């Protein structure tokens, strides 16, 4: 795993500048550094290397092709690179190999097949920049599901790109301005969704896309899609069918191959293990293919409602893994909070960022690579919204729209009454009624889904000068032809929540401690297979991931797994009323909010007061604001 960055244009082409940009992301690659420039063209590339496969200098980057036409910087792992070498040798496109790094394989493939065809042949996670000297073109590309990040855009007269924004901000004369429309999207979704970033003029390359840059960095083309998840989904649901037993056998085989390919490494390797279905499946598939106990890692919390360590230990004992666990005190977890703006480099409001960082830091003491179980919920219907959402909306949709909206307003008013009848018997009754009220006012099933994911329902009224742009759930014309709300939910989760929240969290938390995280459940063959699984094999009898669970039964007794879904969280709700209260109060001070000019203070202060009083649980939307405030404070300090 690595970090890449570079620029094209500007007053000076200095590889020292590129090297200093790369130094900002040194944690992504502490083992080696390299920079290269083409003075005539005005382009410079830089790289930081985390050595995982081919530890010798034969894997050094930037890497030039033997013919001298191409120069590559690349972040990721190509899991089928040995297969590609065979194909290149058969096609007469293989060079005299200098080593066995996947970087050399990727460069040879790009030189022989070109960018579009090579991308369709890759099985891996990656982001890369390829300079074509003959055509004076810079190509940027990103993997299918968005496991590896890539930012790019123009700053003044210079085109910049990098694995993280902090590399771009190191360029001399950086002029980053907060995009207030992106800030509104952040408040709604907990993250800044692609293709935007928090800065004007800088974007994220969408997953499964590449872009060509020409004319000294002034001509930035439209991103081109090389693998369409919408087409995969449409074709899959049309072909869906087969017996549960046959599909389970096929899934088992695909899982074994996907996990096995991701076990290739020249450094110590292990797996995260929370005790949930996905991480347990990955650990089980690893152990089934290993001659020695696989190293597994979990963290625990002393608060019972947030602790899964006991479950993870039971699974590890059954599988026979070499298990390491660490119990974290609230003080240790909260000590991470000041580091979050630097780690995530962009406002990011998913509080599970804290345990993800902690388990990554602990695992890095033992291994350099760790497999992760992320992606199973999105592929096989594991979130509560997948299970209960479509049925709930189906009942609401039968009501006439005016009546539904009127009832929604009435329920919303009731939710704000301080002392509701029955509140003692139903925990957080007000919050539940508030969510129901909002859902009842939705105009359709996709709007209902968007509402479920929204932390702030009307963020443009909170952010000064913002006009919230349309996002994918608003663009009905961009949706593939799918048969029902559950399928649309799964598609939208794979397109938005998965790359922009889950995979961003895993990448930044692991790379902050120089740990490579691999995600086998997102092998693109598994993604395509998941769309061929009938929906009633995903959600059945009020239970998500039904087929997936049947395969896990082959490895782990069901008695160890049957328990409510807990998630990977920390008790932010209680911390904000207790040990984090003073810190939050400083960041949410009304005069400060007014002076800084990003937010209207009144709705934030009202929400803060309600949360402190215990009448309402507003920790999630408040955490969004706090993470932006902490990020903004850091930008002022370093900028």
The pLDDT, as a whole number, for residue 425 is 46
* pLDDT top residue among 272 and 157: 272
* pLDDT top residue among 582 and 424: 582
The pLDDT, as a whole number, for residue 422 is 52
Q: What is the C-alpha separation between 568 and 586, in angstroms, rounded?
A: 28
* pTM of the predicted protein model: 0.94
Residue 9, helix vs strand vs coil: strand
**144 within 8 A of 524, measured Cβ to Cβ:** yes
| pLDDT tens-digit map of 384-417 | 999 998 988 888 888 887 887 777 777 766 665 5
In the structure encoding, which two tokens stand for residue 77, read together?
């792992």
Report the domain count for the chain.
Answer: 2
Q: What is the DSSP string of 23-84?
A: HTTGGG-BSEEEEEEETTTTEEEEEEE---S--SGGG-SSEE-TTSSEEEEEEEEETTHHHH
Asked which of 208, 227, 246 is the last residue of a domain, the reply is 227
Q: Is residue 611 predicted with pLDDT exceeding 70? A: yes
| pLDDT tens-digit map of 437-487 | 777 778 888 888 999 899 999 999 999 999 999 999 888 778 999 999 999
CA distances from 588 to 570, 578, 584 (A): 21, 15, 6
The pLDDT, as a whole number, for residue 95 is 94
Binding-site members for ATP are 299, 372-373
b/e string for 379-406 if b means 16 or more Cβ within 10 A?
A: bbbbbebbbebbebbeebeeeeeeebbe
Mean pLDDT of the chain: 92
pLDDT band at 508; cut points 50, 70, 90: very high
440 by Cβ neighbours in 10 Å (0-12 / 13-18 / 19+) ranks as buried
Sign for the CA dihedral angle at 462, 345, 205, 264 comes to negative
In the structure encoding, which two tokens stand for residue 229, read together?
């998840």
| pLDDT tens-digit map of 352-376 | 999 999 999 999 999 999 999 999 9
Instruction: Please report whether residue 19 resides in a domain.
Output: yes
- Work out the average pLDDT over 515-519: 98
Element (H, E) at 5: strand 2-9
Element (H, E) at 7: strand 2-9
**359 within 8 A of 299, measured Cβ to Cβ:** yes
Kindly calculate the radius of gyration of the chain based on its CA atoms and give it in whole angstroms. Answer: 24
Q: Domain holding 120: CATH number?
A: 3.60.20.10
What is the span of the domain harbouring residue 603?
571-639
| pLDDT tens-digit map of 431-441 | 566 767 777 77
Binding-site members are 102, 299, 372-373
Instruction: Please report whether residue 440 resides in a domain.
Output: no
Q: Is residue 377 predicted with pLDDT exceeding 90? A: yes
Instruction: Please report whether residue 378 resides in a domain.
Output: no
* Active-site amino acid positions: 2
Q: What is the C-alpha separation between 178 and 196, in angstroms, rounded?
A: 11
- Angle (CA) 56-58-63 rounded to 5° is 135
The pLDDT, as a whole number, for residue 400 is 83
| pLDDT tens-digit map of 235-263 | 999 999 999 999 999 999 999 999 999 99
Asked which of 185, 209, 227 is the last residue of a domain, the reply is 227
Residue with tokens 């899991």: 79
Torsion of CA 241, 245, 250, 251, to 10 degrees: 90
Instruction: Please report whether residue 398 resides in a domain.
Output: no
Instruction: Please report whether residue 190 resides in a domain.
Output: yes
Instruction: Please report whether residue 330 resides in a domain.
Output: no
Detail the DSSP E strand segments found in 133-259. 137-142, 151-155, 158-162, 202-204, 209-214, 219-220, 224-225
Instruction: Please report whether residue 171 resides in a domain.
Output: yes
Q: What is the DSSP string of 259-321?
A: HHHTT--SS-EEEE--SSHHHHHHHHHHHHT-SSPPEEEEEEESSGGG--HHHHHHHHHHHT-
Percent of the chain with pLDDT over 90: 80
SS3 content of the chain, % helix, strand, coil (to 5): 50, 15, 35
Binding-site members for L-glutamine are 102
- Work out the average pLDDT over 52-80: 96
Asked which of 191, 211, 227 is the last residue of a domain, the reply is 227
pLDDT band at 568; cut points 50, 70, 90: low
Instruction: Please report whether residue 425 resides in a domain.
Output: no
Torsion of CA 63, 66, 69, 72, to 10 degrees: -20
CA distances from 379 to 179, 358, 546 (A): 32, 26, 12
| pLDDT tens-digit map of 2-44 | 999 999 997 777 889 999 999 999 999 999 999 999 999 999 9
């Amino acid at each position: 795993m690595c970090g890449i960055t570079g620029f094209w244009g500007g007053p000076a082409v200095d590889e020292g500048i590129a090297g200093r940009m790369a130094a900002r992301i040194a944690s992504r690659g502490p083992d080696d550094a390299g920079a290269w420039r083409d003075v005539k063209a005005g382009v410079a590339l830089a790289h930081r290397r985390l050595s995982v496969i081919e530890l010798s200098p034969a894997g050094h980057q930037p890497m030039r092709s033997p013919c001298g036409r191409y120069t590559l910087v690349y972040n990721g792992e190509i899991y089928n690179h040995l297969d590609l070498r065979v194909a290149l040798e058969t096609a007469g496109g293989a060079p005299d190999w200098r080593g066995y790094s996947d970087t050399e394989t990727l460069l040879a493939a790009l030189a022989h097949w070109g960018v579009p065809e090579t991308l369709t042949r890759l099985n891996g996670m990656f982001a890369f920049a390829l300079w074509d000297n003959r055509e004076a073109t810079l190509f940027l590309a990103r993997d299918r599901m968005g496991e590896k990040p890539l930012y790019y855009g123009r700053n003044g007269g210079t085109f910049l790109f990098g694995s993280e924004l902090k590399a771009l901000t190191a360029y001399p004369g950086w002029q980053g301005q907060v995009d207030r429309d992106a800030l509104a999207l952040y408040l709604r979704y907990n993250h800044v969704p692609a293709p935007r970033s928090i800065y004007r003029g800088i974007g994220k390359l969408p997953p499964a896309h590449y872009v060509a840059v020409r004319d000294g960095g002034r001509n930035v083309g439209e991103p081109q899609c090389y693998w369409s998840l919408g087409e995969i989904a449409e074709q899959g649901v049309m072909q869906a069918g087969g017996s549960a037993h046959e599909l389970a056998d096929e899934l088992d085989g695909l899982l074994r191959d996907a996990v096995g390919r991701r076990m290739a490494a020249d450094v110590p390797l292990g797996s995260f293990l929370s005790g949930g279905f996905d991480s347990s499946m990955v650990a089980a598939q690893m152990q089934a293919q290993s001659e020695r106990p696989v190293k597994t890692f979990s963290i625990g919390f002393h608060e019972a409602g947030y602790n899964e360590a006991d479950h993870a230990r039971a699974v590890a004992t059954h599988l026979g893994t070499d298990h390491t666990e660490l119990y974290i005190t609230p003080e240790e977890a909260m000590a991470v909070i000041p580091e979050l703006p630097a780690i995530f480099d962009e406002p990011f409001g998913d509080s599970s960022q804290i345990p993800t960082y902690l388990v990554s830091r602990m695992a890095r003491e033992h291994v350099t690579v760790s497999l992760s179980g992320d992606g199973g919920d999105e592929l096989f219907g594991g979130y509560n919204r997948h299970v209960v959402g479509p049925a709930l909306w189906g009942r609401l949709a039968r009501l006439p729209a005016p009546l539904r909206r009127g009832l929604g307003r009435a329920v919303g008013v009731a939710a704000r009454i301080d002392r509701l009848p029955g509140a003692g018997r139903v925990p957080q009754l007000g919050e539940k009624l508030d969510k129901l009220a909002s859902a009842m006012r939705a105009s359709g099933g996709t709007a209902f889904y968007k509402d479920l994911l929204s932390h702030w329902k009307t963020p443009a009224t909170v952010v000064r000068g913002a006009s919230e742009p349309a996002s994918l759930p608003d663009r009905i014309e961009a949706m593939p032809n799918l048969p029902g709300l559950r399928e649309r939910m799964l598609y939208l989760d794979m397109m938005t929540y998965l790359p922009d929240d889950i995979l961003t969290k895993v990448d930044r938390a692991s790379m902050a401690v120089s740990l490579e995280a691999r995600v086998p459940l997102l092998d693109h063959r598994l993604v395509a297979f998941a769309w061929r699984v009938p929906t009633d094999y995903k959600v059945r009898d009020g239970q998500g991931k039904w087929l997936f669970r049947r395969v896990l039964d082959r490895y782990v007794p069901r008695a160890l797994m049957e328990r409510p879904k807990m998630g990977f969280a920390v008790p932010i709700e209680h911390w904000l009323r207790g040990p984090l209260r003073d810190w939050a109060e400083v960041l949410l001070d009304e005069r400060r909010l007014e002076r800084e000019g990003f937010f209207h203070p009144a709705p934030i202060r009202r929400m803060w007061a309600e949360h402190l009083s215990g009448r309402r649980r507003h920790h999630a939307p408040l955490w969004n604001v706090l993470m932006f405030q902490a990020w903004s404070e850091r930008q002022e300090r370093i900028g």
